[in-house]
């Protein structure tokens, strides 16, 4: 099995400042791609690595990302 080619793309992430210090970050399109960092810049660098690793581990997700999607907001 060959290595999956990861093409460049834009991903939406949620960056949260944590009470304990530092930041957590999660990719909206790939819920399993989660990381953290002491600074915003470090968290953003780390999530890029997490996204690449996730897509290498689950190459089928790259195909799923090509499907039409829509971001909507709901209120409870």
13-25: per-residue pLDDT in tens?
999 999 999 999 9
5 is a domain residue: no
Looking at the 3D structure of the chain, how many domains does it have?
A: 1
pTM above 0.95, yes or no: no
For residue 65, what pLDDT is reported?
Answer: 85
Cβ atoms of 3 and 53 within 8 Å: the answer is no
Q: What is the pLDDT of residues 23-49, one digit of tens each?
A: 999 999 998 999 999 999 999 999 999
Domain with 40, as residue range(s), is: 15-64
1 is a domain residue: no
For residue 1, what pLDDT is reported?
Answer: 42
31 is a domain residue: yes
27 is a domain residue: yes
For residue 2, what pLDDT is reported?
Answer: 47
2 is a domain residue: no
Percent of the chain with pLDDT over 90: 66
């Amino acid at each position: 099995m060959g290595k999956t080619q990861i093409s460049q793309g834009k991903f939406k992430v949620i960056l949260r400042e944590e009470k304990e210090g530092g930041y957590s970050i999660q990719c909206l399109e790939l819920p399993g791609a989660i990381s953290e960092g002491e600074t915003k810049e470090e968290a953003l660098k780390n999530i890029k690595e997490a996204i690449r690793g996730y897509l290498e581990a689950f190459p089928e997700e790259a195909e799923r990302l090509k499907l039409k999607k829509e971001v909507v907001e709901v209120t409870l």
